[in-house]
Structure 1
Amino acid sequence: MAGRRKDIPKGMPNYSDLINPTLEALQALGGSATINEIYSEVINNMHLSEVIIDFPHSDKSSQTEIQYRLAWARTYLKIYGIIEKTQRGVWAILPEHKDLHHINVDDCVNTVRSLSADKKDTHNDPKKDNNLEDDGIEFPDENKPWRERLHNILLSMNPFAFERLAQRVLRESGFYEVEVTKKTGDGGIDGYGRVKINGMFSFKVAFQCKRYSGSVPSSDIRDFRGSLTTDIEKALFITTGSFSKPAQDEAMTPGKIQIDLIDGEDLINRLAEFKIGLTPVTEYEIDEKYFLQI
């Protein structure tokens, strides 16, 4: 496990600080939500600064630090028996806890650590321990090593090959007449496609693909929007990185063409869903509580 970083911005929530906000976000969203919905709800409720929101986890990851820590918070809640993850990637509060809005964080962390087969000495007060990953669990639930390796592969791809990969993902997602333009690297449109909604309404979509190891700035969104012609009805920006808060705000600016965003985590999830370049490996998840309580 890598050592603790020393350049974390002041005010960055610890893993334990995010456990109850994650639970509260799920409750506010009706008891279930996607990762992105949970993320948006938590950062809005906690009033986190752009410095904290945009701080990258590492050069080898498409996640920001806050996204990484939220992944740990979800993992603790899952192992603690409060929430579950569906096959579609949706997180949901278990029925028996549908009215639960707050838990004892110390008890949650200590329980997770006690259930970890390779636990270390964890007698410290969890509130004083910023490195909650050091609990015997090697990775948070959705941060398995293959995701990091795949992210590095995507970053090293030829830009034209990356555009063809995006083309395949869009086709698998229901787009048709998807074409990649011959130009690249100009900040403009990388391809076009059409998508039909409910079998009735179709839209012409322009997309841009950008291999990025950090956060996409708002200027890239503005440049992309500036390249859109009047016949474009929807726009899509695909990246291996993440989107800064200003970039997200710029993409949804009222009165302008709305630009939908697919970040690195979304892209990897779609590659896994459609099994593009990925072969699933069957594993069993152990219900450690069952063996301890039988």
Structure 2
Amino acid sequence: MTNFQDLSKIDQENFLMSKIIKALRKLGGKSFTKELSDEVVDATEEIPEEYAKLLITSKKGNEYHPFAYTFNFAVKYLLLAGFLKRPIRGTVELTEKGRTCLLDEFDPDEQVRKFADPHWRRPRKRELTDPKSGVDGADSDDEDNQVNNWKDQLAIALSNFTPAKFELFARALVKNMGVTLDESIGVSLTGDGGLDGFGYLTTDDFRTARVAIQAKRWQGLVSSPEIDKFRGAMDKYNAEYGVFITTSDFTRDAIKASRVGTRVITLINGDKIADLVAKYQIYTHPVTTYVLEDYYNNEQ
């Protein structure tokens, strides 16, 4: 089995096209672009998790994700070839062509590139095809780049937090999610039984459950042994639910471990943190802006 990162950029794009269509079908035919990217990585063993999250600094000092760069171009080609469409900003949806194509007979060159290349608005210059220039596929998907810009800023800010500040942030996050925090468990900076927080969640039918909280400000991926240790800490306080929050992401094995047994652990990675920060406006506020559509780019 050839690893994804060993393929040429064009072969990577071709490889991803059918995976993108398959993942969208699993997600119901419509998805946020980032959600789609995560689903493709989770479902594809040929794409190493470390490579999918890899962040590189170019010669010009710009940071970029090689996988995101390639993924964006694969999506762009599928859009131009009519397999996908954008119903609203930041989302992609399967067209009838995308819903009905036979993936077992899918040929990226004949079915996608042959139709997309004539519609490509500008040549794929070196700065677009060579990620070393520092372009993270931004020109291939400007709208998504604008949407994710503030999320990148948030990720950098969280990575600079001290462990103590991040734990406080995590407790603020779950508090806004409806958890009433316990004032005696998991609030000391020295740690408390392996927990970073503990609280109670009351559902609409007035049932109250104990919730254990773990917060990790990590650079690398959280592995399954960390999930197992957290589950042990949950046992100490008879917690029915667990919430594991990290600035990075989780390995495939960690995701599987979180779903084992009768007590499923909710995993919140860096992307989901950003979604929750926006939803509850935690130390942030929305700014309204407008993006001109193609109508304004045409003289006639």
**Normalized against structure 1, the TM-score is what?**
0.72
1:149 maps to which of 139, 149, 153: 153
Partner of 1:18: 16
- Hey, which of these two has a bigger chunk of helix by percent? 2
Alpha-carbon displacement from aligned partner over 1:59-117 (angstroms, at most 9, x marks no partner): 79xx9865665455456656877333768x7x452677674547614544664x51xxx
Partner of 1:104: 112
1:241 maps to which of 248, 251, 254: 248
Partner of 2:86: 84
Partner of 1:272: 278
Taking structure 1 as reference, are residues 175 and 33 closer, same or farther at Cα in structure 2, changes over 3 Å only?
farther
Structure 2: tracts of 5 or more residues without a match: 58-63
Q: Any conservation in 2 of the 1:207–1:237 contact (CA below 8 Å)?
A: yes
Q: Is 1:193 the counterpart of 2:199 in the alignment?
A: yes
Q: Any conservation in 2 of the 1:75–1:141 contact (CA below 8 Å)?
A: no
Deviating beyond 6 angstroms after TM superposition, the runs of 4 or more aligned structure 1 residues are 78-81, 94-98
Could you tell me how far apart the structure 2 residues matched to 1:68 and 1:205 are? 38
Q: Any conservation in 2 of the 1:154–1:162 contact (CA below 8 Å)?
A: yes
Report the alpha carbon displacement of residue 208 of structure 1 after superposing the two structures with TM.
Answer: 0.6
Partner of 1:4: none
Report the alpha carbon displacement of residue 165 of structure 1 after superposing the two structures with TM.
Answer: 1.4
Once superposed, what is the RMSD of the aligned Cα atoms? 4.0
Structure 1: tracts of 5 or more residues without a match: 1-7
Q: Flag the structure with larger Rg.
A: 2
Q: Is 1:164 the counterpart of 2:162 in the alignment?
A: no
Could you tell me how far apart the structure 1 residues matched to 2:118 and 2:273 are? 34
After TM superposition, the structure 1 = structure 2 runs for residues 180-219 of structure 1, keeping only pairs within 5 Å, are 180-184=186-190, 188-219=194-225
1:283 maps to which of 285, 289, 293: 289
Q: Any conservation in 1 of the 2:181–2:199 contact (CA below 8 Å)?
A: yes
Alpha-carbon displacement from aligned partner over 1:168-187 (angstroms, at most 9, x marks no partner): 22122222235552144688
Partner of 1:3: none
Could you tell me how far apart the structure 2 residues matched to 1:151 and 1:74 are? 24
Identity of counterpart residues, as a percentage?
24
Q: Is 1:262 the counterpart of 2:271 in the alignment?
A: no
Report the alpha carbon displacement of residue 234 of structure 1 after superposing the two structures with TM.
Answer: 0.8
How many residue pairs are counted as aligned between the two chains? 272
Q: Is 1:57 the counterpart of 2:59 in the alignment?
A: no
Could you tell me how far apart the structure 1 residues matched to 2:137 and 2:37 are? 23
